[in-house]
Structure 1
Amino acid sequence: MNLDYHSGRVGHRHGLMVLAFLGYVFMYATRVGLSVSMVAMTRPMVKPINENNTSDSSQTFAEACPVLLAQSLNESSENARRDSRGDGQSRTFDWDSETQGLLHGAFFYGYFVSQTPGGWIGHKIGAKLPMAISMALIGILTIISPFAAEGGVWAFFAIRFLVGIFQGVVVPCVTVLWIDWAPPKERGRLLAVSYSGSQLGAVMGMFLSGFLAEAYGWESIFYCFGAIVILWVVPWMLLAHDSPSKHPRISDDEKHYIMSALLADKHQQPGETAKSNEPDHKRSTPWLAIFKTVPYWVVVIAEFGHCWGFYVLLTNLPTYLNNILHFSLKSNGALSAMPYLVRWFVTILSVCLSDWILTKNFCTPTVLRKVFSIVAFVGTGFALVGVAYVGCDATAAVVLFATAVGLSGCMYAGYLVQYTELSPNYAGVLIGLGNSIGTLTGIIAPYVVGVLTSGEGGQSVENWQTVFFIAAGIYACITVIYGLFSSSVRQKWD
């Protein structure tokens, strides 16, 4: 049968793609929802100065941006209305910036330790059941998060840690799923669409969180997102299967197309020798060769530096918009979501453009990855420097935040692809290690931000400038290292 026979037809693999995409959307919403809910569930650390009314400096906690008197009165009435709810909900906590940074990082502790075991489990028993169990537990843990917060900082830390563990299982399982479902010619599209759910999940999480917190209290963020994740498990269990051969309703044409394409690809790996024809699971991983490969560590350094800036914005942007620029919860959620919508569009455009450039042979893969990565690093870094300098100009700050987060989407056509280009056979190992190291920044960066902005006077324009300068400096460093030493050439040990 012609391998292209079913390539243009919509089949069960596309339904699986939609399910995986939605799973990423809902899962990521539970992750980023805390960024907005943290603003609503903690007492204000800043008392802004009214530009229409003089105020004794001793009555302010920090040198935040001034606000109009009417806006200040409106914000005060909204806060008072939320605090006076008589249903026992919407309690606020006296968590300072350092504590908030610790709680933001709790997720990443769990996320860091579970990705490699999650990939191993997926390979051993398939991706369907581990994903279903993990998503169900993510939903349950999210729903009980408000009760954990009532129990104190460490109870809430434990819940966020567990959410991170189960999300860390889901991420590699999605990759494992496509090993048996994605024909080589469609692999890029199926994977890209599945993973892009994380970016729309950030949009959904931040956008809806602001409305939910303002209308129903911050607890509703956790109840709503947790319930959606649990509901996703139902169609997943009914419609998803680990491979075409296990799917009871797939057509013979689609099954043959997928399995034949995968078999043909396996026997046409470039540079394959007789020794490499042994089954993949019996081939020992060349750890020493990997650790000695300079281009790989250059990619890992790029991953670490890029994730630092990304997680600073992901976890702290709503806090900055609230404490420094004084946006309401509703506006905060919408404005925090906008940069990630821009990022989604940039990602799709970058991937399509890079595929077209490679198809036309306009440049080598190494040059192409460098161009897209450096655009992401330099563009994001300069935008963050711009945020530091515009200070209280809210419009300029929002535009620059959208630019910073949006341009970071170019990395999907940049260094992120090089894990597979350096070693198609061991890409899972390379990605697992690199992503784990990048995840460390999700622990470190929010805590550093918390330390820099904690205490009396901590929530000031000047202290936040330091936060943005540090991120921009890291982007500058990885730009130089990556530009000089990166490569997409397949390694001999592969």
Structure 2
Amino acid sequence: MVADQKLTNEQYEILMKNSKIVDNHGPTIGKRHIQTLLVFLVIFMNYVMRVSMSIIIVAMTDPNASINKDIPTYNWTDKSLIMTSFMWGYMVPQIAAGYLATVFGAKWFLAGTLFCSSLSGFFIPLVAANLGSKGVIAMRIIQGLTQSFMFPSVHAFLGKWVPLQERSRLGTLPYMGSAIGVITSMLLTGVIASSWYGWPMALYLYGGVGLVVAVLFSYFCASEPDLHSTITKEEKYYIQNNLCENGSGNTKDIPVPWFEIFTSLPFWALIVSQIGFSWGNWTLLFETPIYMNHVMKFDLKSNSVLCSLPYIAEASCTMFYGFLADYLIVKKILTIGRTRKIMNTCGLLLPAIFMFLLAQCNSDDAHKAIIYLVLIGVASGAVKSGYNVNQIDLSPNFAGVLMGICNGLSAAVSSLGPMVVYVVVTNEEDTSQWKLVFYIAAAVSIVCLVFGIIFGSGSVQLWNEGNKRFRENYQQVPLKA
């Protein structure tokens, strides 16, 4: 047998009878853990650069932000446009990104997105000085375009590396990079921007470190177990034969069933659930520093620390939700679908309630506002074990494609969240205007959650094995639903 050949169920059963390989578990700490950790670093660095602008934009427009008065500042009135411009680029190539990562492997797309995003961020100070806010908007669009390949590639990657029994926790680990990246960016950017070196140093630092991580990732990562040079046979067989519910890791070159995907109600439930979360998340992520600065009157250092608290809470709770979800599934306490719906309910309904309460705060209720933001973070971590891994549940073979579609459509719709702030909040110190922003975000979350609960699923779909004509031609047995 060729060492890197994928096994059929029959071949695997013969192998198991003649070896000491155990089917129901792999190495406690194996290559799959190292690979997911590498992906974590890519997401982490991309999020550091993505989110840092929400703090940097405050420093770029505040002459008193840095103790060094020679640091350039600008009198820009289009701050919300600068923040949302990232989304304009981010939503464009998502579907193509998922397809390409599925066909050609995720490794180089993940490395490329970090390399290009780091390079774009590195040049923002130069562009700001010479082209003004419109130049910064252009660079943010470029960053969005490059980072649009990240999550579809991550899902294509996880679809090859993460066995079903570990999906919630191992599938959650890389995505913790987003929360920890936000925390790091919020804490560190405020300190750097208020120091003698000012906001440009933050962009130089993040861009430089990002380039180094991209190189390290390129060297140590492999798109799938077959391409990893040092993985043990035991771990490789364990992964490949536990990617689906029936233990069959079908990875043959099959056509993408586009029609079946776009007419699948469980898949649309997944998209709508992601829109519900993303709307509120992007609104808070990009606009909270401005809200805390102008409404709650916190200075830059305090602002960056306080804005990081919700993401510290989210990161602290995310793995708990992952272990809980896997426990419920593996012990057969709940089905995969019901487990995902419970996690989505925690991650969408509770933040909506806390956003409603946040809307009641005024400038005298700063501490209440902070508590509600932290509670939003605590609840939000649940979605990493909800819709965020549901693409792999529905179709391990096309997880990257599904993530590309989900991320692209959700980004397109969710970009309206920061745009609502641009339109509604004409006076950044007016609490009544911010109240409307939070009400809208809470309403979107609840409506999307209801749709997801009604039509969502955790079962592998028939089209995971290709479109109907392909399945009939190859007489494939449908996967267990």
TM-score between both structures, scaled by the size of structure 2: 0.84
1:2 and 2:50 aligned? no
Which of the pair has more CA radius of gyration?
1
Matches within 5 A, 1:257-268: 257-265=234-242
Q: Which letter does structure 2 place at the counterpart of 1:157?
A: I
Tell me if the contact between 2:59 and 2:73 (Cα under 8 Å) persists in the aligned partners.
yes
1:108 and 2:127 aligned? no
1:26 and 2:45 aligned? yes
In structure 2, distance between residues paired with 1:359 and 1:81: 51
Deviations 1:50-94 (A, max 9, x none): xxxxxxxxxxxxxxxxxxxxxxxxxxxxx54738623xx2x2222
1:241 and 2:222 aligned? yes
Q: Classify the secondary structure of the residue corresponding to 1:194.
A: coil
What does residue 312 of structure 2 align with?
A: 341
Q: Select which of 135, 146, 151 maps to 2:125.
A: 146
What does residue 436 of structure 1 align with?
A: 408
In structure 2, distance between residues paired with 1:42 and 1:400: 28
What does residue 306 of structure 1 align with?
A: 277
Q: Which letter does structure 2 place at the counterpart of 1:261?
A: Y
In structure 2, distance between residues paired with 1:125 and 1:425: 13
**Relative to structure 2, which stretch is displaced further, 216-225 or 392-401?**
216-225
Deviations 1:316-355 (A, max 9, x none): 0111110111111111111111101111122211111111
Q: Select which of 87, 93, 98 maps to 1:119.
A: 98
Matches within 5 A, 1:395-434: 395-434=367-406
**Relative to structure 2, which stretch is displaced further, 420-429 or 198-207?**
420-429
Number of aligned positions between the proteins: 442
Q: Percent identity?
A: 28
1:465 and 2:446 aligned? no
Q: Which letter does structure 1 place at the counterpart of 2:124?
A: S
Gap change, CA 1:260 and 1:367, over 3 Å in 2: closer
1:39 and 2:58 aligned? yes
In structure 1, distance between residues paired with 2:170 and 2:337: 23
Q: Select which of 360, 368, 389 maps to 2:360.
A: 389
Gap change, CA 1:438 and 1:352, over 3 Å in 2: same
Deviation at 1:458, TM superposition (A): 4.6
In structure 1, distance between residues paired with 2:122 and 2:355: 35
Deviations 1:139-186 (A, max 9, x none): 121111111122122211111111111112233333333444445544
In structure 1, distance between residues paired with 2:256 and 2:111: 30
Deviation at 1:288, TM superposition (A): 2.8
Q: Which letter does structure 1 place at the counterpart of 2:255?
A: R
In structure 1, distance between residues paired with 2:152 and 2:64: 44
Tell me if the contact between 2:163 and 2:240 (Cα under 8 Å) persists in the aligned partners.
no
In structure 2, distance between residues paired with 1:246 and 1:363: 35
Q: Which letter does structure 1 place at the counterpart of 2:82?
A: L
What does residue 321 of structure 1 align with?
A: 292
Deviation at 1:256, TM superposition (A): 0.7
TM-score between both structures, scaled by the size of structure 1: 0.82
**Relative to structure 2, which stretch is displaced further, 175-184 or 371-380?**
175-184
In structure 1, distance between residues paired with 2:236 and 2:330: 25
Gap change, CA 1:484 and 1:376, over 3 Å in 2: same
Deviation at 1:207, TM superposition (A): 1.0
What does residue 359 of structure 1 align with?
A: 330
**CA-atom RMSD, angstroms?**
2.6
Return 5+ residue gaps in structure 2 as ranges. Answer: 1-18, 465-481
